[in-house]
Amino acid sequence: MSLIKKELTEKSGFVMEFSVSEEAFKKAENEAYLKNRKSITVPGFRKGKAPKSIIEKFYGKGVFFEDAINACIPEAFEAAAKEAELDIVGSPSFDLVSTEGDIVLKAVGFVKPEVSIEGYKGIEVERNVDAVTDAELDAAVEDTRKRNARTIEVTDRAAAMDDIANINYEGSVDGVPFDGGKGENHDLKLGSGAFIPGFEEQIVGKNIGEEFDVNVTFPEEYHAKELAGKAAVFKTKLNSIKFEELPALDDEFAKDVSEFDTLDEYKADLKAKMVKRNEERADAAVENALADKLMELLVAEIPEPMFEAETENQVRDYDTRLRQNGLDLATYFKYTGLTLESLREQMRPMAEKQVKVRLALEKIAELEALTAGEEEIEAEYKRISEAYNVPVDEVKKMILSEDLAKDIVVGAAMKLVRENAKTKKKAARKAPAKKAAPKAEDAEAPAEEKPAKKTTRKTTKKDAE
């Protein structure tokens, strides 16, 4: 098995010829015979007992050729690519050149592109750290109160907004029940918007044990197309009513929800954490801006298979996140109307960015002669082990040290770019004058800012929701 010749073509392409020795091929051909003979029938022989020569005479000389050559290609190709010093991306195509003596094959594919980049030091970026406002702090405290609320049964009044109504329901369209439209002992917070518009409001004023019809119309853009825009009737029974009682906002509350003895200490710690969160957001925004600039500075003819491979990685990662939430791609497609192809289209821009930024940082690491030492590699193995609760030895089996070293130097390259950037401080947002703490029902926890990405649509088992 050896390299015969190689040629680099336009747009990061390559053509390479390599050989499989006659001896190696005959060995693979014999292994193909041993593997397949049990399923081959030859008249006059018991199934699986016919000699190789008889099978070849009966079915043709090349009966095992394809299996044998496919078995030989991976090892022979890898050895030839290593000898040719080609950093191959994607899956090449193979053609048979000669079968006289040694087998000669031709591979056509792509390699990682030649890359150049200049001006990566001294990039100007803006760093904006938002101040933590009194309203945000009050809202965060209020969110903690809500999470520590006490649920109390109601027995002496009708249902009201913000109550938790336990209901049985069964929906129908034109008198015909539909899939997913039935539920029993379902807790529904009135006013939450969890069910289709108009449903929750019709429970308000109803008493425990009361049975009634809820008349609604499904939205035109409803995910279940067969129900979109249709009028429906839900036969409903109110089983029970509960409401949440918020704890008093005092020192006892602080003791219950934190390690602090007073409310002032608890709020001071909470504010410090929110300040740190805003600092981290600002750092992430700076790094994202630097990544965008590196893409602009990168000069390279990037082959399509690199983008396709990274897009598939993005899709697999998304599927993994769905499964962690009890879903999968098939279910996600059912409720969103998307397809695998449309999901790929959504993932493509981020995949292109990942590829371009990675190439830029790899080139910077090369230009700056950045390396990863043994201590850094071991430390990274330990970090991964602790993050995923997997023994270090198992992590080392899954991730080659060479690959880990590449990731480390890429991280070091981004650190270098960041440290050499010219950061301008934007004026922080001024906090408005402090107002009275919002009521529990009006307060909202501050939404944590994250990089823009396609998020999973939350689905339920019930079409009524």
pLDDT digits 0-9 by tens, 44-70: 888 888 898 898 888 998 899 999 999
Residue 343's contacts (CB-CB under 8 Å, 6 or more residues apart) are 315, 318, 329, 333
Residue 335: C-alpha distances to residues 57, 331, 346 (Å): 56, 6, 17
Q: Which domains, ranges and CATH numbers included, belong to the chain?
A: 2-111 (3.30.70.1050), 114-146+262-465 (1.10.3120.10), 150-245 (3.10.50.40)
Q: Which helix (H) or strand (E) holds 150?
A: strand 150-154
* Mean pLDDT estimate for the chain: 89
Q: What integer pLDDT is reported at residue 456 of this predicted model?
A: 33
Grouping H, G, I as helix, E, B as strand and the rest as coil, residue 448 is: coil
Q: What is the bridge-based pairing of β-strands 422-425 and 124-127?
A: parallel
**201: exposed, middle or buried (C-beta count within 10 Å: 0-12, 13-18, 19+)?**
middle
pTM above 0.75, yes or no: no
* Tokens standing for residue 201: 């409001």
Is-contact 71 32, C-beta < 8 A? yes
pLDDT mean over 375-392: 94
pLDDT mean over 78-102: 93
Question: What b/e string do you get for 284-305 counting C-beta neighbours within 10 Å, with b at 16 or more?
Answer: ebbbebbbebbeebbebebbeb
* Tokens standing for residue 81: 């690519």
Q: Is the pLDDT of residue 161 over 60?
A: yes
pLDDT digits 0-9 by tens, 15-45: 999 999 999 999 999 999 999 988 888 888 8
Is-contact 197 219, C-beta < 8 A? yes
pLDDT mean over 365-379: 96
Give the span between the Cα atoms of 412 and 408, in whole angstroms.
6
Residue 345, φ and ψ in degrees, nearest 5: -60, -40
pLDDT mean over 275-295: 96
Q: Is the pLDDT of residue 448 over 60?
A: no
pLDDT digits 0-9 by tens, 215-232: 999 999 888 888 999 999
Q: What integer pLDDT is reported at residue 169 of this predicted model?
A: 97
Grouping H, G, I as helix, E, B as strand and the rest as coil, residue 280 is: helix
Give the helix, strand, coil percentages of the chain, each rounded to 5. Answer: 45, 20, 35
Q: What integer pLDDT is reported at residue 246 of this predicted model?
A: 93
Helix axis angle for 134-147 and 263-297, nearest 10°, is 110
DSSP 413-428: HHHHHHHTSEEEEPPP
Dihedral in degrees, nearest 10, Cα atoms 245, 246, 250, 252: 70
Q: What integer pLDDT is reported at residue 1 of this predicted model?
A: 59
Q: Which amino acid is at 263?
A: L
